[in-house]
Amino acid sequence: MNRGLMSLLAMLMTITTFAIPARAANEPRAGRLPRTAMVWTNHDLKRLRSHGLISIVGQPALVQDATAEEQPSPHVKTQDPEWYAERATMLLDELERSQAQLHQYRQALDAGTLRGQSH
């Protein structure tokens, strides 16, 4: 009789082990509400904004000043001829330094090769 009771108990435990995850998968998790899709209208946004519950960054001004002139575009340095002249001068100086250094290296190599040949 003990053997039959143990078999029944083992079978019940196996069934409940499979049933609990299946049941849990069908129910929403605790603490989470199901999401519902909402379509926001302009009226909804105005209502929220009037209560201070929403902030829209970069919203255009409702009233434009008629006397305001168009703002000049920001200075772009790549369109400035003086910037190119300064940049060209800087690069030419760098090129001259590099060429002088290269000349020194070549002289050092020539001097080293000539010494190596004399031995």
Helix/strand/coil for 97: helix
Q: Is the pTM of this model over 0.75?
A: no
Does the pLDDT at position 50 exceed 70?
A: yes
Residue with tokens 């001829």: 81
31: left (phi over 0), alpha (psi -120 to 50) or beta: left
Q: Over range 55-70, report the average pLDDT.
A: 59
Select the more confidently predicted residue: 29 or 79. 79
69-112 pLDDT, tens digit per residue, is 666 666 677 778 888 899 999 999 999 999 999 999 999 998 88
Q: Over range 5-34, report the average pLDDT.
A: 69
DSSP conformation class of 69: P
Using a pLDDT cut of 70, give the percent of the chain over it: 60
Q: What is the mean pLDDT of the chain?
A: 75
Q: pLDDT-based confidence at 20, cuts 50/70/90?
A: low
pLDDT score of 2? 75
Integer Cα distance of 111 and 117 in angstroms:
10
pLDDT score of 117? 52
